[in-house]
Structure 1
Amino acid sequence: MTFIRRLIVASALCLLGPPAVAAAIDDARLQSADQDAANWILPGRDYGDRRFSPLKDISRETVKRLVPKWIYQTGTAATFQTTPLVADGVMYVTAPFSHVMAVDARTGREIWRYEHKAATKKLCCGPANRGASLGYGRVYVATVDARLVALDQSTGKVVWDVALDPAATDGPSEDRGSISPGDATLKGAVSGATGVGANAAPLVYDGKIIIGITGVGYGLHLDSDRPGAPLGAVVGVAGRYGRPGFLAAYDAATGKEVWRFDTTKEGWEGEFLEKTAYGEKLPRDAAAEKAAAPDHKESWRFGGGSIWHAPALDTKTGLIYFGVGNPSPQAAGESRPGDNLYTSSLVALDARTGRFVWSYQQTPHDLWGYDVASPPSLFDVEVGGRTVAAVGQASKLGWYFVHDRATGALLFKSEPYSPQSNLFHAPTPDGVVVAPGVGGGVNWSPAAVDPASQMAFVAAMHWPATYRSQVIPAADGKPEVRYFSIEPVSEGTYGILAAIDLKAGGKIAWSTKLPQPLIGGALATAGGLVFTGEGGGDFSAFDAATGEKLWSFNCGAGVNAPPISFAVDGKQYVAVAAGGSQIWGFRQGGAVIVFGLPD
């Protein structure tokens, strides 16, 4: 490098100034995160997981002037789902495969980088990671290979690294038997679906790190004919596949396990309900299931129930709220008679002890993959003339469920925000098209809640699926094999951004149809805006009162991650990860893009 070039580089670095430094974050600061307008220090901005920013400089009137301010390239082009965190001018980003970076939030300049080296190549659920957490001078990340890692907040150096489940194995409990990758009936090769991992952001509270595992709702994932997307169908085969999921708390200082809640337990058969708790009829033969139950006493040991998000926390009561995934084996119910508690449920626990408080099962004996996958939000709502502390959850079923936070009693469910047809229909040999399909009305995408206007905003989709029951006849000494397939339709899909009026008992205030299914989540702001992204790369702002699109920017890769808003030096910014999603067929990349108003 010539002397003049060195001088130019040195001058530029001087102008940029030293890297930002974030103060250590304690419990008091975490509990007051809702009052900290400038920062985003929890996965949902506050413990209530509302994803609502009180910043309002970027507003209905100014949003048309929004421009990119800087772009940070992670260097990894893969399914990108992170929620960035911002504390005191430093942004903390998790990349696919559980890498972690600290970045100057003013400039996008990297401060430090942690490269995670997975202990196994058998990833249960792909490379995606949904974010880190901050607390006690550390950054905590749960990894694709089911580890929990504590990093020094200032340097990124590993403080401790523990296995979330030392007893876990890489494979299912038993072999698949007669189902082979070359079988023409299955239309493709089997890919993945073994092992356990973790992709949610951990929750930091009271000296504990709370996190759950994924990958236990066993199903065979088949290759797709759609370019760039491996998920063409999910195949379920009855048998002793999978294992129980769990949510656990670990000591923040040492990584030692403090408590564990298994999502399936002995007695998970429940009441053999023939209707859901909200009155929908289920295609079940309860008498036959009860008769079969003695032959499947151990089915809970293979029961599934993944955890796909960080819990929401009520700091007044110390209760946490989280959703549980589908039972195992997926789609096939013969080997798991009963309701399969606590799968496909919203659950409340005591955060300090892991004590069970209540659960509400959205889909007993789930055959459709209706995980409770999107994180719940906490807010107050008026019902029957009284104010109730409530928890709301945007379901795969197409309804937004609102419960009494103390008891779990259903206060109301919204009008459908996505089309529903043949809901809870049993699979047939010819195939029945069900909507919502396995992708859901809302998948894992977080909702946003404006507590002042009492509006919830959901990023949803219409993506039906064909459900079939099929048989491979007995041959060559091998027994007959019955299996079930769930295949998403390839045409007629679209996205839905909807506003749900909580003060009106869940009426749909407005609904905006978008070209592609929405995967990634919503951000609402006091500027009267709702932000969300699309798989084609558009990142857009909508009027929170009407749903009108006010601004859009194409990021060059799918925007399939939740946006955030923060402020540095008194200026408001909006940030989002643009890296697409392989499983949904959206173009991949590895950028975090930060937008702001012109100087």
Structure 2
Amino acid sequence: MSLALALTLAANTAHAAATADWAHFGGDIGDTKYSALDQINAGNIKRLKVVWRAPATDPAVTSENPGLRLSNNFRNAPLVVGGVMYISNQLGQVEARDPGTGKVIWRQANFEGEKTPTTGNASRAIAMWGKGTGARIVTVRGSYIYLLDARTGALVQSFGDRGRVDLREDPKNAYSWNAPAPLVVKDVIVIGGQPIATGTADINKASLTGDIRGFDVRTGKLLWTFHTVPREGEPGTETWENETWRQGGKTKTWNGFSADEQLGYVYAPLSAPPSDYDGRLRPGDNLYSDSLVAIDVTTGKKVWHFQTVHHDLWDYDLPTPPILADIKVNGRMRKAAIQVTKTAFVFAFDRVTGEPLFPIVETPVPASTMPGEKASPTQPIPQKPAPFDRQGMSEDQLIDFTPALRAEAVEILSRYVHGDIFTPPSVAGGEDGKLGTLYLPGWVGGANWTGAALDPLTGILYVPSVTVPWISRYNYRRPPESSLYMEGPQGLPMVKPPYGRITAIDLNSGDHLWMVPNGDGPRDHPALKGLNLPQLGQAGRAAPLLTKSFLFLGEGDMVGLSIPKLSGGNMFRAYDKKTGKVAWQIDLGAGTTAPPITYMFKGKQYIVVGVGGVDHPAELVAMSIK
């Protein structure tokens, strides 16, 4: 073994060393969702049981405010640092919990003069900075960044205005703030997101940008701003023809960042441009939409970028931060950034330079038939790894459980424009009589905000994904739309199973190792009675957790927006990482809505996950060996 390889493997081993904490949304700042903890292992997995359950919001809040309306779509991944669990509750307030019982230690108080809101949402994540008595919590709620003392929950008065910073450029306007998880790197709070207009505020106002900003973690001072849509004089404005960058707005990062602290780089996955499905008012490639952008955290300057979709017409934004790890590609160790996508492509880059680790080819794609729409003539297609889910709509994709079901599916398909991936939206009710474009993957993925997980010791990537076609169309009487789930024959899914899957990919070679369905799907249907069907897979949004021994994964739930019909389930499973076989499973009583985490507390390893349902209040569920 060469000295360089030995040193790299040693560094990877140190990175994956067993730690008692879960200090970041994705386990570590590289978002691997991996923990080397191994108290829960193949020898005792059958004894893994639920040891406590706790409401996702302090019961005192609901008793004090009986008019509260709390969403059961609880998406927060708790942090566990220094023997304390920290969560963002269903109102976006930070709560400190006992990791061994789930009981509340303290709850973030309302800011002076503010009342408890009547509704709200949990942040997907919060961030930690500092240690010991100087430990701080960074959280975003409403239009503000808050800095809290991790011991007490008290506001740190030296930060901003008495402990908070207003994210609105013009506080007089009626905007709330739709922000992803903040990240703290080299004493800089990095935050993205976008103001949301309320009341009479102008949602189309050009100043409503999704710019990424860096704030001093001690004082709250704004240090820099990165323009996600280039401004006058900046490179990239030429990709917004007719100076449409002036109204670009919206392009944002909506699900957080990953970072390399040694390099001082933050990696931002950016969204589709406005409008998601109509590009007539924004001709050009539209940088930095659908791009992975590396930003120097000290200066806010772009280091490199790669656009994964040109002139997006499908809402194929990057839904999750890239995973950062060191892997061996073609015999050479590389610092990698691995981006999974809604399109089911995996883009792998050198995270220092942005160089692709596997070839990416600009490939001709279908043109738009919509008058005035100029779709990009090519799209970047990775040559490796192969797509982790199905792409494009054709008769070969259709359900074939019985001849009658297939015939009905073929007839339904004939009503729509369909073809390879990147077939543009079409006019409903046009001369061809079609009802729009049926496309796959739909705008929910592929992959989505729950992302993938990577074992840094093996370089194997585990990707949950869904196979759900959607309708995208223009209608002369209404705005373009693409949030239309496509029902198949007799209300069944339109395509063959699995509807949810897990794919293991060796990133050292780019080869797929195995694929298995994630759970079972909708088989309790009169048309399926008596049929010997394979495992169908659940189309719920499932978030992965990797440990030294297992891949843990739930099935997602129907609660929440943009969830495919007939998706989600109550099962939570441990999969063998080498084979994909189920090693253990449990019914949690509701579907998983949040990423699972793991940690050690008082000598015991726990796994905790958020659950909820249409009729099931949001909870945290903890499991351990009994």
Asked whether the two chains share a fold, i.e. TM above 0.5, the reply is yes
Alignment partners' CA distance in 2, 1:62 and 1:37: 20
> Distance between the aligned counterparts of 2:580 and 2:45, measured in 1?
14
Is 2:394 the counterpart of 1:423?
no
Contact kept, 8 Å, 1:240 with 1:335, in 2: the verdict is no
Amino acid at match of 2:177: G
The match for 2:66 is: none
Structure 2 residue identity aligned to 1:149? Y
Quick one: percent identity of the two aligned structures? 32
Q: Which amino acid aligns with 1:512?
A: P
Q: Are 1:253 and 2:218 counterparts? A: yes
Shift of 1:355: 1.0
Structure 2 residue aligned with 1:275? none
Residue correspondence of structure 1 range 547-558 to structure 2 within 5 A: 547-558=580-591
Selected match of 2:253 from 307, 332, 355: 307
Change (3 A) 1:246 1:116: farther
2:279 alignment partner, SS class: coil
Judging changes above 3 Å, is the alpha-carbon distance between structure 1 residues 135 and 217 closer, same or farther for their aligned structure 2 residues? same
**Which residue in 1 is equivalent to 2:168?**
165
Which of 379, 397, 404 is equivalent to 2:350? 404
C-alpha displacement of 1:558: 2.5
Q: Distance in 2 between matches of 1:119 and 1:262?
A: 34
Query: Which amino acid in structure 2 is aligned with residue 265 of structure 1?
Result: P
Q: Measure how far apart 1:322 and its partner are.
A: 1.8
Deviation for aligned residue 1:488: 2.2
Alignment of 1:77-96 (within 5 A): 77-96=71-90
1:527 maps onto 2:549 in alignment:
yes
Partner of 1:488: 485
Q: In the aligned structure 2, how far is the partner of 1:482 from the partner of 1:74?
A: 37
Give the SS at the match of 1:500. Answer: strand
2:604 maps to 571
1:105-504 map, 5 Å:
105-114=99-108, 127-136=121-130, 137-143=135-141, 145-159=142-156, 160-167=163-170, 197-214=177-194, 243-266=208-231, 293-294=241-242, 297-412=243-358, 413-421=384-392, 422-428=420-426, 429=428, 430-472=435-477, 483-490=480-487, 491-492=492-493, 494-504=499-509
- The alpha-carbon distance between structure 1 residues 214 and 464, as it changes in their structure 2 partners (threshold 3 A), is farther
The answer to whether the Cα contact below 8 Å between 2:194 and 2:208 also exists between their aligned partners in 1 is: no
Query: Which amino acid in structure 1 is aligned with residue 618 of structure 2?
Result: G
CA distance in 1, matches of 2:262, 2:334: 14
- The answer on whether the counterparts of 1:98 and 1:116 sit within 8 Å (CA) in structure 2 is no
The one of the two structures with greater contact order (alpha-carbon pairs below 8 A, sep at least 6) is 1
Following the alignment from structure 1 to structure 2, what is the Cα–Cα distance between the partners of residues 464 and 254?
Answer: 48
State the Cα RMSD in Å.
Answer: 2.8
Gaps of 5+ in 2: 1-13, 58-69, 157-162, 359-383, 393-419, 429-434, 522-537, 558-568
Q: 92-101 or 490-499: which moved more?
A: 490-499
1:467 positional shift: 0.9
**Deviation digits for residues 16-55 of structure 1, max 9, x if unmatched?**
xxxxxxxxxxxxxxxx985461111122222211110101
Q: Which residue of 2 aligns with 1:595?
A: 623
Distance 1:315 1:48, change over 3 A: same
Q: Which amino acid aligns with 1:415?
A: A
Secondary structure of residue in 2 paired with 1:504: coil
Q: SS of the counterpart of 1:64?
A: helix
Alignment length, in residue pairs?
Answer: 488
TM-score, with structure 2 as normaliser? 0.73
Aligned mates of 2:305, 2:116 — CA distance in 1: 34
TM-score of the pair, normalised by structure 1: 0.76
Q: Is this contact kept in 2: 1:381–1:502, CA < 8 A?
A: yes
Cα distance change, pair 353–506 in 1 and its aligned pair in 2 (3 A): farther
Q: Is the 8 A contact 1:217 1:329 kept in 2?
A: no
Residue pair 1:269, 1:337 contacting (<8 A) in 2 also: no
Shift in alpha-carbon separation, 1:203–1:520, aligned structure 2, 3 A: farther
The residue number in structure 2 matching 1:12 is none
Select which of 28, 48, 59 maps to 1:46.
28
| CA shift digits 1:278-300 (9 cap, x unpaired) | xxxxxxxxxxxx9xx33xx1444
